[in-house]
Amino acid sequence: MSAVKVGLLGLGTVGGGTATVLLRNAEEIQRKLGRAIEISHVAGLGIAEQSIVDASKVKLTEDGFDVVNDPDVQIVIELIGGYTLAKDLVMKAIENGKHVVTANKALIATHGPEILKAANANGVNVAYEAAVAGGIPIIKALREGLAGNQIEWIAGIINGTGNFILTEMRDKGRDFDDVLKEAQALGYAEADPTFDVEGIDAAHKLTILASLAYGIELQFEKCYTEGISKITPDDVNYAQELGYSIKHLGITRKTDDGIELRVHPTLIPQKRLIANVDGVMNAVLVYGDAVGPTLYYGAGAGAEPTASAVVADIIDTVRTIDAPVEHKVPMLGFQTDSMADVPVMAIDDIETACYLRMTALDKPGVLAEISDVFAKHSISIEAVSQKEPAEGADKVHVVLLTQKVRESNMNAAIAEVENFDEIEGAVARIRVEQLG
């Protein structure tokens, strides 16, 4: 059979890794497919200076539209990132009848409905395994390996930067700002780290996972997102004393009231496997009604780990390149005419247990006042601890763990407690999940 020609948009970290893996493993890939995959056209800024592909055998351009309009290219691999140009290139490729492989989680999470609708209309496939958790094949697991299950919930560490920061804070007692600077120096965090540390990157990925799990439309704008920038070394230490680790989790759960879709710092018991996923590694815990809990662990970023997922998608696309759309695994795991109209719940309607830390005057009666407020708002306290004050200080940290409580009730109670004269500053709140 003749070689399948692919066009590559972007030759940066992931694009370079993808080209390297395709070239290095070409013989092994051909043995699996029965035909070769040939890189025929590559676009990228400063492309003339690249040394990854053989310029005598591959067309090089700085204009991505040269690639998507190339009649010889059958599969377009989009690895430039971002929303605008990437979307225009992908939509043009689809219009031209080309299959698309992408690692662009922001593009799929925000423009996925439009892109996938166009792909279906044009009889082509859009594959995006590398968009979530790098080299971990979580999309294939949800869409194929767990297809016989009803997914009850997913909880994932799906941003390595945030996980690195929280690991360093726990293991070395460092504060957030200090570790963030190191993460930037190491290349784990961008100069503007907002997407990573405020949970936007994780929310993009969780939006995709929820759609695959429950057969709902991609609804990034409805994902509750909270970052880790307010986590203090005290919180990390107090959590450990209580037998918990703090992780920045993306959580989606199907309930009778709708779908939970939330990214936030979370206390999880130290005995859980996912609590021991450290550094820049990712992990996704999936609970299916038949299989129970399954954990997927690996590198969530990096040139070749992400390229591993990109190349796997290229191989899958080649295997079914000429098959009708109805004979392929649906792009979101469910048939397009069977997507469920299930609401995504507002964060105020969700119930979780909570960890609370507050700074209070060291005087009798304060804990009783706090307890009265919580009782008024139907909040049960599971544990309470008043820390020793520093020498000569008249204020102490009070730490509480609550049982499950409706978010709106907790918000009202926190607002009331913060108005006490005996309470200084804001009450810190971290949600608690048992994940078992």
- Mind telling me the catalytic residues? 205
Residues 414 and 356 sit within 8 Å (Cβ to Cβ):
yes
Neighbour-count burial for 374-386, b at 16+ CB within 10 Å, e otherwise: beebebeeeeeee
Cα–Cα distance list, 163 to 271, 276, 307, 333 (Å) = 17, 11, 21, 29
Residues 423 and 367 sit within 8 Å (Cβ to Cβ):
no
Q: Which string of DSSP letters, residue by residue, matches 126-150?
A: EE-GGGSSTT--HHHIIIIITTTSP
Identify the CA nearest to 42 among candidates 23, 26, 58, 24.
58
Alpha-carbon distance of 132 to 108, in angstroms, equals: 10
The DSSP 8-state label assigned to residue 38 in this structure reads E
| DSSP H or E stretch at residue 156 | strand 151-157
User: 185: buried, middle or exposed (CB in 10 Å: 19+, 13-18, 0-12)?
Assistant: exposed
Alpha-carbon distance of 413 to 402, in angstroms, equals: 12
Helix pair angle (160-172, 176-185), 10° resolution: 130
Q: Are strands 244-255 and 281-288 parallel, antiparallel or unpaired?
A: unpaired
Residues 47 and 67 sit within 8 Å (Cβ to Cβ):
no
Question: Which residue(s) pair with 398 in the sheet?
Answer: 358, 386
Cα–Cα distance list, 224 to 188, 246, 249, 425 (Å) = 24, 18, 12, 24
Please, what's the largest Cα pairwise distance for the chain?
A: 83
Could you give the 3-state DSSP secondary structure of residue 226?
A: coil
Could you give the 3-state DSSP secondary structure of residue 298?
A: strand
Residues 195 and 202 sit within 8 Å (Cβ to Cβ):
no
Residues 6+ apart with CB under 8 A from 229: 176, 197, 198
